[in-house]
Structure 1
Amino acid sequence: MKQISASKSFGGTQYVFSHVSEACRGDMTFAVFMPPQAKTAKVPVLWYLSGLTCTHQNVMDKGEYRQIASELGIAFICPDTSPRGEDVPDEPDNWQFGKGAGFYLDATQDPFSAHYNMQTYLLEELPRLLDDSDLALDFGRQSIFGHSMGGHGAITLALKNPEGFASVSAFAPIAQPSTADWSRPALEKYLGTDQAAWRAYDSTLLIEDGFRVREILVDQGTADPFLQTGLRPHLLQAACQKASIPLTLNMREGYDHSYLFISTFMADHIRWHADRLHD
């Protein structure tokens, strides 16, 4: 790993690193906040997956997570949302596909399969890289959450790895990307026209296929402009009810899709995860 920056905050340190990724075949940048407790012992890990158009930087600048993470002794990892680089295939005029829109999957279709392997990157490569580093991270205690596309990613990764994550939550997740207008075209480009392959990256269909987690926490703004067409939390609610997965769905009156919404409830989510990470 190459350290890009290190800044003290709330007694801890906010790092930004880069490295050459084998899974994504190029340079990747990510952020890690280490709380002050890491000076004397390994600390549990909370992954945050960002949404469409974002990088690691958005939540760093606007997520307001460092104070509560320092208080609770939680490391906070912010990966990028897609591979980057001049040789990475992209659709620059399409904010719902390509760079900034990796959907946390492993693509199978050319030319995207060479670089868009975010599931492997997040579940295998980046944790291994960090575990081998000098950072005092306890990967025996890790949880995951995210926003929008990242909320979709967090829930699908947790469903497929229930022993790997102590808990999972989301802000305004794309509940059923295989049928949502703003995600269905991306799944087809990354995974092909056989919709059976899409099921591995759809929370509601994974639950239908028997994948389980202990519980899920979701916060969703009622004034979110994408609520009815892209997000549709009622579909996740119905899937969880049918599968007897406890789901806490907080419909937050008047809140939209922005980081003003996310930062308002960020501390609630981190506390919720901390309770489960410190069990």
Structure 2
Amino acid sequence: MPKIFKTNAEIATCGGKLLKLTHDSKETGTQMDVNIYLPKQYYDKSKKECHESKIPTLYYLSGLTCTPNNASEKAFWQLQADKYGFTVVFPDTSPRGGDEVPDDKNDWSFGKGAGFYLNATEPKYAANYRMYDYVHKELPSLLQQEFGSDGKLDFIKNKSITGHSMGGYGAISGFLKNYGAYKSCSAFAPICNPSVVGWGIKCFSNYLGSDNKAAWKQYDPCDLVKVVKSTNASDKVLIHVGTKDPFLNEHLRPELLLNASKGTTWEGKFDINLVDNFDHSYYFISTFVPEHAEFHAKHLGLL
């Protein structure tokens, strides 16, 4: 069987290896970069070749302008993946490609690097900007085909999701839209109500249509909590936001998610932690990665 992924680098780090990969995506119509960290448990020769329990996966969705390398280098997920025994997948934030992929070179918060984890419907962007189906459907399937065939890794059934900023919104939105598919969800400084803040309005308008507010609601966590029913008593979404985050009051607005969840089955299930003095950077993210890793490890059955 021909290989799906091209390995551009295989880097020993902590107790496992970080693989930097490229593959052709039918969803985006482009080549896509993705990094995966295989923890030390994957390489443990003392374990049986056929693991009784497969190594689960945590998907990490990055924020505006990021590539798969940002979190791979700065978030320090690898140490936690080794501690608990899960794989980490770092997808890209948008289709890339050349001039055939539409972009706004004058705006870092829209276009390439800012796919907003949705399926665009506006004709200019619909062919390439299909990051929702790419992240939640195509990529896990391709990873399972190539890396899960030996029975050690599980990219589809036992998985959780997290993300930062735009990726935090993408994680919460994807968790709710695929309720039951992910064992847990967390977010670092997420865009909580994109329909009413600048970054979200810009991306929703251009990708989905400025007048198509019904489509906006299909991705906005503050709308999804009203239509997606929580049926599991253990449901909880862990969120950290820094009080000195420069985007807190203009773009993130975590209080709007709390308000939207009131009177729904999600009331009391968003554990939003405002942490003093922290900003929007990877210094902030890496500080709270251990807490998020433990949270996901419990839900993935590793504790």
TM-score by length of 2: 0.89
- Using the alignment, how far apart are the partners of 1:178 and 1:156 within structure 2? 12
Aligned residues: 279
Give 1:242 deviation, angstroms.
Answer: 2.5
Instruction: Say whether the 8 Å CA contact 2:8–2:22 is kept in structure 1.
Output: yes
Instruction: Say whether the 8 Å CA contact 2:175–2:181 is kept in structure 1.
Output: yes
Does 1:232 find its partner at 2:253? yes
Does 1:147 find its partner at 2:160? no
2:289 to 257, 266, 273: 266
- 1:172 aligned residue: 189
Does 1:198 find its partner at 2:216? yes
Give 1:71 deviation, angstroms.
Answer: 1.1
Give 1:239 deviation, angstroms.
Answer: 2.0
- Using the TM superposition, name which of 136-145 and 260-269 deviates more: 136-145
- Using the alignment, how far apart are the partners of 1:72 and 1:134 within structure 2? 20
Does 1:98 find its partner at 2:111? yes
- 2:277 aligned residue: 254
Higher strand share: 1
- Using the alignment, how far apart are the partners of 1:243 and 1:13 within structure 2? 42
Give 1:14 deviation, angstroms.
Answer: 0.7
- Name the CA shift for 1:204/1:211 in 2 (closer, same or farther; >3 Å): farther
- 1:16 aligned residue: 20
Query: What is the DSSP-based 3-state SS (H/G/I as helix, E as strand, rest coil) of the residue aligned with 1:133?
Result: helix
- 1:221 aligned residue: 242
Query: What is the DSSP-based 3-state SS (H/G/I as helix, E as strand, rest coil) of the residue aligned with 1:218?
Result: strand
Instruction: Say whether the 8 Å CA contact 1:33–1:66 is kept in structure 2.
Output: yes
- Using the alignment, how far apart are the partners of 1:26 and 1:268 within structure 2? 35
- Using the alignment, how far apart are the partners of 1:179 and 1:221 within structure 2? 21
Instruction: Say whether the 8 Å CA contact 1:141–1:165 is kept in structure 2.
Output: yes
- Using the alignment, how far apart are the partners of 1:10 and 1:53 within structure 2? 27
Whichever of the two has the greater Rg, that structure is 2
- Using the alignment, how far apart are the partners of 1:130 and 1:71 within structure 2? 22
- 1:29 aligned residue: 33
Alignment of 1:49-198 (within 5 A): 49-86=61-98, 87-135=100-148, 136-138=152-154, 139-192=156-209, 193-198=211-216
**Aligned-residue RMSD, C-alpha:** 1.2
Give 1:79 deviation, angstroms.
Answer: 0.1
Instruction: Say whether the 8 Å CA contact 1:105–1:116 is kept in structure 2.
Output: yes
- Using the alignment, how far apart are the partners of 2:261 and 2:90 within structure 1? 27
- Using the alignment, how far apart are the partners of 1:146 and 1:124 within structure 2? 17
- Using the alignment, how far apart are the partners of 2:265 and 2:227 within structure 1? 13
Instruction: Say whether the 8 Å CA contact 2:15–2:40 is kept in structure 1.
Output: yes
- Using the alignment, how far apart are the partners of 1:164 and 1:218 within structure 2? 19
Instruction: Say whether the 8 Å CA contact 1:23–1:120 is kept in structure 2.
Output: yes
AA aligned opposite 1:260: Y
AA aligned opposite 1:249: I
- 1:45 aligned residue: 57
Percent identity, aligned pairs only? Answer: 42
AA aligned opposite 1:113: A
- Using the alignment, how far apart are the partners of 2:111 and 2:178 within structure 1? 25
Instruction: Say whether the 8 Å CA contact 2:177–2:228 is kept in structure 1.
Output: no
- Using the TM superposition, name which of 232-241 and 130-139 deviates more: 130-139
- Using the alignment, how far apart are the partners of 2:113 and 2:229 within structure 1? 27
